């Protein structure tokens, strides 16, 4: 199953994605692009959703719109509508279910002066909906969290876990390959200002290129994502440790390497099998 896409495929994938309704988009895409790995598709869908939310979240959660949505919600409760009220509202306004639920909770727990409640309270309630005093809101919120793969405590935990799982996986693979390295925790302890996931204490070569560090990313590397990482992390590593490697475990768009210009940072979707280690024979 392919995880590395060329720009054309990726563009047509994004095109189809835009035309699909919000639910079950992965399954629909699977039919359109059977040759692509499901994980890659999931990742692309999730990233598209996050991009969309980044663009519209602020606009959709002004106090007026939230007030209107809250009214609608309380009305629906009064009308004894079927459970799934927030889910339907979510489809209607275009906020993801978890984000919508959060806004409604914030409104529900608003302070006397109409200001938002403490963030800690809201996130505690989101994590454990059983603590919400309003039984309907609690249940509706819970349904929303179950539906949302991008936002909400469960989705966040999944994402975080996935990142960490791949990091640990990478460490183990490297250990298997007998590569000597320091990982993030070591580096932080030693007072490094920038800490790649893996800093190779003895460099290795991949496809004829020496690398000094490896960064693991459990997501799909499109240009926007990659540029963001270059700016915040990868170039900083390059500045300090020289050429390195970034692994997008869920694939990437081809030819991203060309935006690095003369700074060599390899991109792969797995730990290369053909690493050349330094000769340590006498």
Partner 1 sequence: MALILDLVSGDIALFHVFTWLDIGSVHQDLKELLKDESENIRYSFPQLLIAFIKEQTSSIVKLHNIHPYELHTVASPKRENLLPTVNNLSLSSPSPNFKNNGSCQETRKIRKITPQRLDLSSDSAFPSLQQSAQTREIPKKRRINPTQLIESPVTTRVPLQFGSCSRPSPPALGHNAFNQAQEQSCHKSLDQERALLKEKKHQITIPTISDLGSTAPKNWMCVEPDISFVTKLSQLDRLSALCSFCLSRNLVPSLFSEIQFLIQLLVLRVSPAKLKQTHLVQSLLDSVHNCVYFSAKTLEHLEGIWCHVDQSVLQQLMHNPRLLLFCPEWTNDKLPKLISSITNVDRIPPHKTVANVAFQTETDNRFNFASDSSFQVFRKQRDQFCEAWQIWKVNSSIPGWNMSIALQKMIQSLVDLRRDCVNYAHLARLFRSQLLNVAQLVKPINELEEPDGPLGQLQSSDPDKLRRLRDRLTNPPESRPARCVGTENDIKMHFEGDQEFFRDFILLAASPAFNEHLKNSLVSGIEDLSSSEDCDDRAQFAETVIALQVMAKFLGFLHFYPHASADHLPEHIFHHLSRLRISQREPIDLVSYIKDAFYKGRLVLVIPWVVTYLTLADPVSLCLPGFHSVLCHLIFVYRKAELAPANAFLIRILLGWLFSQSNFPLPLLAKPDDDLLIEFGNLSLATTDDQLPRLDQSRLVDSSLIHQCCPFLWSWKHLLAEFACSDAKNSGEKASVSRKITPVSAEENPSPVKAPAVKSLQKSLEENFFHNQPSSVKRTVEFVAERLASNVVRDVRHQIIPRLVLHAQATLKTWPSTAKDPVESLCLQLCADVRNEAASAATSAIASIESTLTALLPNDLLPPVRRVCVSIASKLTQGKVLDWIQLHVTKSLFKNDLEVELAKLDKSCARRVPGSPTASDKPQVVHDPTTQAPSFLIDRLKTLIRQVIRDASKVSEQDLIDLLSNCEGTLHRRVDVTPIVSKCLQQLTFDLLFIVCVFQPESIGSQTIIAWVAFWCKTYPSVDGVETEEPVQPPGALISTCVWQVLTPKQLLLLAQSTSPRESWNHVTTLLLQLMKSGLVRYKDVQEQAIAVVRQEWPQELLGRFATCVRDIVDWHRNQKSEPNLSTSESCDDDGLLSWLSWFCAQDDL
Q: Which is nearer to partner 1, 131 or 180 (CB)?
A: 131
Rounded to 5, what percent of the chain is helix, strand, coil? 55, 15, 30
Q: Are 169 and 117 in contact (CB under 8 A)?
A: no
Q: Which is nearer to partner 1, 143 or 198 (CB)?
A: 143
Residues near partner 1 (CB under 8 A) are 109, 111-112, 117-118, 121, 124-125, 127-136, 138-139, 142-143, 146-147, 153-154, 156-162, 164-165, 167-169, 172, 189-194, 210, 235-236, 238-242, 261-263
Minimum gap (Å) between residue 55 Cβ and partner 1: 26
Q: Which is nearer to partner 1, 75 or 124 (CB)?
A: 124
Minimum gap (Å) between residue 124 Cβ and partner 1: 5
Minimum gap (Å) between residue 94 Cβ and partner 1: 22
Q: Which is nearer to partner 1, 60 or 109 (CB)?
A: 109
Q: Are 250 and 220 in contact (CB under 8 A)?
A: yes
Q: Which is nearer to partner 1, 60 or 122 (CB)?
A: 122
Minimum gap (Å) between residue 141 Cβ and partner 1: 9
Minimum gap (Å) between residue 105 Cβ and partner 1: 10
Any idea how long the chain is?
282
Q: Which long-range contacts (CB under 8 A, 24 or more apart) does 65-69 make?
A: 65/93, 66/103, 66/104, 66/106, 66/107, 67/107, 69/93, 69/100, 69/103, 69/104, 69/107
Strands 198-206 and 244-248: unpaired
């Amino acid at each position: 199953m392919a995880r590395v896409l060329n720009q054309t495929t990726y563009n047509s994938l994004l095109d189809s994605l835009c035309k699909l309704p919000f639910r079950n988009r992965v399954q629909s895409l699977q039919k359109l692009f059977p040759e692509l790995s499901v994980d890659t598709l999931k990742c692309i869908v999730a990233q598209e959703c996050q991009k969309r939310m980044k663009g519209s979240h602020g606009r959709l959660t002004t106090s007026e719109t939230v007030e209107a949505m809250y009214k609608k919600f309380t009305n629906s409760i009064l009308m004894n509508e079927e459970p799934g009220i927030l889910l339907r509202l979510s489809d209607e306004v275009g906020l993801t279910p978890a984000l919508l639920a959060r806004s409604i909770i914030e409104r529900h727990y608003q302070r006397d002066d109409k200001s938002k409640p403490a963030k800690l309270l809201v996130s505690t309630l989101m994590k454990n909906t059983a603590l919400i005093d309003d039984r309907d809101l609690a249940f509706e919120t819970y349904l929303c969290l179950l539906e949302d793969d991008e936002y909400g405590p469960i989705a966040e935990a999944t994402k975080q876990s996935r990142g960490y799982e791949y990091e640990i996986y990478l460490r183990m693979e490297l250990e298997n390959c007998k590569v000597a390295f320091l990982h993030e925790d070591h580096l932080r302890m030693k007072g490094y200002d920038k800490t790649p996931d893996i800093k190779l204490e003895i460099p290795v070569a991949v496809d004829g290129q020496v690398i000094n560090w490896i960064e693991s990313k459990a997501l799909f590397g499109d240009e926007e994502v990659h540029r963001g990482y270059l700016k915040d992390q990868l170039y900083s590593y390059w500045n300090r440790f020289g050429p390195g490697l970034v692994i997008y475990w869920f694939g990437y768009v081809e030819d991203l390497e060309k935006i690095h210009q003369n700074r060599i940072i390899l991109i792969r979707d797995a730990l290369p099998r053909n690493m050349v280690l330094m000769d340590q024979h006498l």
